[in-house]
A and B are shown apart, each in its own frame.
Chain A
Amino acid sequence: MEANPRSTGRLPAAFLTPGSSSFMDFLSEHQPEILPGNRQLPPTQGVLEAPHGTTIVAVTFPGGVVLAGDRRATMGNVIAQRDIEKVFPADEYSAVGIAGTAGLAVEMVKLFQLELEHFEKVEGATLSLEGKANRLSTMIRSNLGMAMQGLAVVPLFAGYDVDREKGRIFSYDVTGGRSEEHGFAATGSGSVFARGAMKKLYHDALTEEQATTLVIQALYDAADDDSATGGPDMARRIFPIVTVISDEGFRRLTEEESSVIARSVLEKRLEQPDGPRAALL
């Protein structure tokens, strides 16, 4: 059997063997060595330094869900990258935001996108939102070996459930444990601060516009208290990535749109550094 996919010869027998609709299953049978989880790990001493992504937040609103992330990647106490992208579309109706080791996380997203697309092409139907969330669980679990060496990937998955007609959020732990979050969720080093902000600002009748403002407020608070999270960078014009998923599908706010929200949040913070106040009772 020609195991080399790079040759332009006949399709290898494995390609024509009926099997599952999963691209990962196909890879694990045909070329297991290129699956991220199957890599041989050398013994390491101490923690390997690699760029880490930090804060991802998500908020549901009637009609959809908003997923957003800051732009900073850090390596120890160094800012490794100021304009990293950590929020990606997974398919037409879902998106994934990643915190943790950037290199591994971006690769995981790429494989996840392909997994969903492959299923859709082979089966002629899309996976349910629950099915997509479970698939991501499996992928995180396969990374457990690396997570235990300090290279963890912790994504946040958000999507529009076409059957239930609402936005839903799933959060994960490093072991692949999955839990559905109601209303709002955050992951990454700045998530505790972001979650605190969202807890005070969230209510269940937000408009799409309010939801996008809310996530930027939350990211601002995360950046305020967590050194690994980057706030809006006015000098370089780097603004958070904000995506909206509704029954119309996935949409990423243009740089112009997110800069307008970020600027107005920033302006208010010049007068009121701690942000909007919630009523005491």
Chain B
Amino acid sequence: MSTPFYVSPQQAMADRAEYARKGIARGRSLVVMQYADGIVFVGENPSRALHKFSEIYDRIGFAAAGKYNEYENLRIGGVRYADLRGYTYDRDDVTARGLANVYAQTLGNIFSSNAEKPYEVELVVAEVGATPDGDQIYRLPHDGSIVDEHGSVAVGGNAEQISTYLDQRHEDGMTLAEALKLAVQSLSRDTNGSEREIPAERLEVAILDRARPQQRKFKRIVGRQLSRLLEEGGATDAVGDTETDAEADGETGSARDSGGDVE
């Protein structure tokens, strides 16, 4: 009989982390960013039907990079958690913080249990508040840790590079078109620094719009509205040029003049 090899706990965890990270890196990155009237989710996704972003509850959205079947499972678990909680208590008692905690526990449990392979996913749970100060964005890496993010966050293979790019350029109170433009720019930069074009059909865009009159704030941006916003963002190069945006975007109400918020 052979004796099993001794593997130190540090080594075992490092191996599992590397396995998960490699899996996540195979997928494309995505960006979640605050803008004046809410939170925008932007990612490259050739599929029209298999979404990376979705609604969890009234003010809570979900974004995921990595293995589809694994994050889809977590997404549905989250919808069930939120709906059950809202049904037993009240709709206001469903919060992103609560959901992020449950996800962190779940991912952490899976990561440190030897019976299961670690999930190759990285999640973002975002909740839009009544004001930009009330917005919450949580990033949940594969190991069950939880990071409270502000302004912008990127997850996926190329996340670190994109985050650095975004941190330098993201400002409070950007209009939706500006935020969208910045997100697309950050996503279209390759690891070696060269830029490529991402056509509108390959973009998946969704928003949590605090100005939406409905109770449910999540909305997908597709088709004409998406191309109009992309054009608009491209036409106004200078950030802070809110006048033209406010005019063109009056219909969705998502580009109100952010006033004193712009530094």
A114 in the interface, Cβ–Cβ < 8 Å?
Answer: yes
Q: Cα distance A70–B71 when bound, in Å?
A: 47
Q: Cα distance A121–B58 when bound, in Å?
A: 11
17 A-B residue pairs with Cβ-Cβ distance under 8 Å, sorted by A, are A5-B84, A8-B98, A10-B102, A11-B74, A11-B77, A11-B81, A16-B106, A18-B76, A31-B84, A114-B83, A114-B86, A117-B83, A118-B79, A118-B83, A121-B55, A124-B49, A124-B51
Counting chain A CB atoms within 10 Å of each CB, the highest count among B56, B77, B81 belongs to B77
Given A8-B102, A34-B88: A124 in contact with B54 (beta carbons within 8 A): yes
In the complex, residue of chain B having the shortest beta-carbon distance to the beta carbon of A14: B80
Task: Point out the residues of chain B lying under 8 angstroms from A23, CB to CB.
Answer: 80, 83, 87
A9 in the interface, Cβ–Cβ < 8 Å?
Answer: yes
A27 in the interface, Cβ–Cβ < 8 Å?
Answer: yes
Residues of chain A having any CB pair with chain B under 8 Å:
5-6, 8-11, 15-16, 18, 23, 26-27, 30-31, 34, 110-111, 114, 117-118, 121-122, 124
Interface pairs A-B: 3 shortest CB-CB? A15-B77, A10-B105, A11-B77
Task: Point out the residues of chain A lying under 8 angstroms from B55, CB to CB.
Answer: 121
Are A122 and B79 in contact, CB atoms less than 8 angstroms apart?
A: yes
Are A5 and B81 in contact, CB atoms less than 8 angstroms apart?
A: yes
In the complex, residue of chain B having the shortest beta-carbon distance to the beta carbon of A16: B77
Task: Point out the residues of chain B lying under 8 angstroms from A8, CB to CB.
Answer: 98, 101-102, 105
B85 in the interface, Cβ–Cβ < 8 Å?
Answer: yes
Given contacts A15-B76, A30-B84, A121-B79, 5 further A-B contacts (CB under 8 A): A15-B77, A16-B74, A110-B87, A118-B79, A124-B51
Given A111-B87, A121-B55, A121-B56: A10 in contact with B106 (beta carbons within 8 A): yes
Interface size on B (CB < 8 Å)?
A: 27
In the complex, residue of chain A having the shortest beta-carbon distance to the beta carbon of B57: A121
Task: Point out the residues of chain B lying under 8 angstroms from A18, CB to CB.
Answer: 73, 76
Are A10 and B109 in contact, CB atoms less than 8 angstroms apart?
A: yes
Task: Point out the residues of chain B lying under 8 angstroms from A117, CB to CB.
Answer: 83, 216
Task: Point out the residues of chain B lying under 8 angstroms from A11, CB to CB.
Answer: 74, 77-78, 81, 102-103, 105-106
Task: Point out the residues of chain B lying under 8 angstroms from A34, CB to CB.
Answer: 87-88
Residues of chain B having any CB pair with chain A under 8 Å:
49, 51, 54-56, 73-74, 76-81, 83-88, 98, 101-103, 105-106, 109, 216
**Interface SS of A by simple majority:** helix
Are B84 and A27 in contact, CB atoms less than 8 angstroms apart?
A: yes
In the complex, residue of chain A having the shortest beta-carbon distance to the beta carbon of B144: A10
In the complex, residue of chain B having the shortest beta-carbon distance to the beta carbon of A15: B77
A20 to chain B, nearest CB (A): 11
B133 to chain A, nearest CB (A): 25
In the complex, residue of chain B having the shortest beta-carbon distance to the beta carbon of A91: B216
A211 to chain B, nearest CB (A): 23
Q: Cα distance A6–B93 when bound, in Å?
A: 11
Task: Point out the residues of chain B lying under 8 angstroms from A15, CB to CB.
Answer: 76-77, 80-81
Are B87 and A114 in contact, CB atoms less than 8 angstroms apart?
A: yes
Task: Point out the residues of chain B lying under 8 angstroms from A110, CB to CB.
Answer: 87
Q: Cα distance A6–B98 when bound, in Å?
A: 10
Are B88 and A6 in contact, CB atoms less than 8 angstroms apart?
A: yes
Task: Point out the residues of chain A lying under 8 angstroms from B80, CB to CB.
Answer: 15, 23, 26, 118
Counting chain A CB atoms within 10 Å of each CB, the highest count among B55, B76, B81, B216 belongs to B76
Counting chain B CB atoms within 10 Å of each CB, the highest count among A10, A34, A111, A124 belongs to A10
Task: Point out the residues of chain A lying under 8 angstroms from B109, CB to CB.
Answer: 10
A269 to chain B, nearest CB (A): 35
A251 to chain B, nearest CB (A): 11
Q: Cα distance A117–B85 when bound, in Å?
A: 14
Are A9 and B105 in contact, CB atoms less than 8 angstroms apart?
A: yes
Task: Point out the residues of chain B lying under 8 angstroms from A9, CB to CB.
Answer: 102, 105
B209 to chain A, nearest CB (A): 16
Q: Cα distance A154–B123 when bound, in Å?
A: 43
Task: Point out the residues of chain A lying under 8 angstroms from B56, CB to CB.
Answer: 121
Counting chain B CB atoms within 10 Å of each CB, the highest count among A6, A8, A111 belongs to A8
